[in-house]
Chain A
């Protein structure tokens, strides 16, 4: 009569509605794949898009609530919902661009769509987790799907290499995270975030030592997932080798999800320990920005360049974490939104310039592209300028918020290092525009207007990047409320 002894926790199904909808969609695509004839799998993408739309609607409907489920292991607050919506946007745009990209690369497998969706499920779980075990669960769901996705282009050696590298290093890093969780559990006697927060606020010297050790290990684990230096070495190879649409999802989705959990745990649960961790993150932020930007200068392959750029952006986000407080937290959320749109946009342009059997991923291939396809040129200019932090685009406002938070918390030195890094980044971002507009080349371009899915992705990303730059205040307010919902 064992089951009588276990007291099943109360489960609020409404609270996990977004996750349920998303998981159901993922499974549906798996099943629907069996009934799809022919090589074309676009229909699955549409199922995914509808599912993501439903998830987003559910998240919006839950906006004014704060529910917990599974005995407090999952908390659906605005913070989690903000990220849920962010992941819906990221995954939706990824699906849209994939529908064009898979045809171009002959990756004709239905699993692709379900893996993207499962990975998104993992992200949502991470963002709404209120228990370290659930964080770990979400991380694994997300990562395992991402490992598989990195290697899904089976005919390509570099895709296989990416998957293997990502998997081995990822598993190793997850080990660190798990060890950190174990240490925190050892101190607090619980894995719930509320329990750990209580322990941390009244920690004895002995407990503090263990907490610090646990935090250090967790920083390694999260640092790997967000690709912070010195845990970034995997990123360029994986980003270059993985199919471009998967790279896009890794650069925005995986990174945002890791930041969602990272910020929730460190900026909220362990906020009292911030004097201990902020110094470490200060160093990590400086290293990440500098190494990311300086190395990006040397890249010849646009995917590698964007990989290093995404490392650098993790650095700016770490500045937000170091700055802390309401402003730092809201700035991170806003920045991730802007970063998602401009990075997905940039990867869409990379896809748009590729052709069947001819990926055109070297910077030389971009020569003269701006005039041969004015729309692509304009879109890429907007993404590059936004990534470089030049107004009036979303990336600039994001940086403005992050650096304002840092100044407000008194981190002037860090801010100056940050803007000087922005300056370095201008060189390579603008370098892409130099190729596109100021040199001549002859790589043929399929006009994006003949590829409706890709075209739609680009239009959304361009519109979003501009709108975030011109009218940031509404979304910043949403970001602020979301961060404040942490309590």
Chain B
């Protein structure tokens, strides 16, 4: 059974089915979209069950010739690095669809179609093991996001949507040139093109070439992460996007950048990556502190959460830049955490935005009294994002800091302040929204969460606790692939004599 193809293309099938339905049947469209987003989740549970945790290689591989004259294949595979990101995507999607039941009332059909199309793009990018195929999916996921922000977005929706597209395309087009260059270089050395990731991993390029190609890949991924100073599209996109769009954007799309570093940019160009890591770590640390500082002064809830993403993804990048098992595993774990926590934060902000149509913190206050269930849920989500021990965020941040400390002691010390600042801005935000007097008459009329809305949060909260208390099943499945990636890196660096530096880590 081509399990990965089923996971990737069921949403596309759903999108096509929905397209053929009548636009005014909102209820049927919503249920249809929900069902079609549950199917890939079911398949990916099966994927998890059948996944061999001890193996580092790609599993469930599928391969078919696509463009034979360039040796481009339709090649899929999943390993410990992508497994949980696939699960994260399929897990978040039903939640997003369900949250869209309430806050999307115009053009429901198109909204659901774009969500499902995007799911196909994201899942495809995560499981593609052919660079060309990866690029195709990488671009495919961009366009639905553009429409989601542009059509259902806030006041500056057009500006935010176009900015997103142009920023992302600027990076990815250069990456395309690098991909082509890589394939052509392979052809010049071995007589045939190759876009196959595994084959290209065995292929060592001169360091000068590597630097250029790494720069092109890194730019594309750094924009997507987004790393300071390429992050400016993110607050706009997040703020203007509808709740579902923000959740997907924070939950999965940003992970594509960090995933891209780990899957492609670092392993393909090891020497160049190794040289660039101090720079990347520096930018990551700046991002952590800068993002946190901006959060402190944000009057807008959604913008605050958006900047907290910049800060949190700084941690993810810092863990990657450490290039050791704890750091990389921690950052992989933190990708999942951030997806769940920040997704949850956007959903939580979405709830009051939908009721009040404002995102300004000063409009709220004392909501605890009026919306107790909501306040409780918001608190758990917020604490998960803060990184409270016992919840998921703690595990990831802890691993990252351990790993990063070995490589960059001073920088990591500075970065740790981001953890404290994170607690400060999130708790302060919570305090201003939830506590204090309930003196705004608008807020006195608010209704607490409906059953559907609670259902949206329940799976997230369960995962916060599971991942916070018992991370082993996750980490043990990641470990072989992470170690294999690092071992390959070390071996390649040894060939050029930079190995002792790695050994020190």
Contact = CB atoms under 8 A, between A and B. Distances in A.
B135 interface: yes
A392 B136 contact: yes
9 contacts: A396-B139, A403-B176, A403-B180, A427-B162, A431-B162, A437-B147, A437-B150, A437-B151, A438-B151
A295 interface: no
A400 B67 CA distance: 12
B169 A426 contact: yes
A168 to B, nearest CB: 39
A30 to B, nearest CB: 44
Given A407-B184, A419-B177, A423-B166, A434 B140 contact: no
Contacts of A420: 173
A434 B173 contact: no
Most chain B CB inside 10 Å of its own CB: which residue of A423, A431, A476: A423
Contact of B139 (A390, A408, A472): A390
Given A419-B174, A426-B169, A433-B147, 8 more contacts: A390-B139, A390-B143, A404-B180, A416-B174, A437-B151, A473-B67, A473-B68, A476-B69
A72 interface: no
Interface string A384-426: 0100001110001100100110011000100110011011001
A391 B139 contact: yes
B237 to A, nearest CB: 14
Interface of A: 371, 374, 385, 390-392, 396-397, 400, 403-404, 407-408, 412, 415-416, 419-420, 422-423, 426-427, 430-431, 433-434, 437-439, 472-473, 476-477, 480
Interface size class of B (residues with CB under 8 A): 35 or more
Contacts of B180: 400, 403-404, 407, 415
A439 B65 CA distance: 42
Contacts of B408: none
B170 interface: yes
B146 interface: yes
A36 B65 CA distance: 53
Contacts of B157: 438
A412 B151 CA distance: 38
Contacts of A404: 70, 180, 183-184
Contacts of A439: 158
A358 B493 CA distance: 67
A29 B174 CA distance: 51
A306 to B, nearest CB: 20
B107 interface: yes
Contacts of B70: 404
Contact of A371 (B65, B107, B132): B107
A95 to B, nearest CB: 30
Contacts of B143: 385, 390
A409 B146 CA distance: 35
Contacts of A431: 162
Nearest to B106: A371
Contact of A407 (B65, B107, B181): B181
Contact of B135 (A391, A422, A423, A426): A391
Contacts of A408: 184, 187
Contact of A416 (B67, B146, B177): B177
Nearest to A378: B19
Contacts of B48: none
A230 B152 CA distance: 42
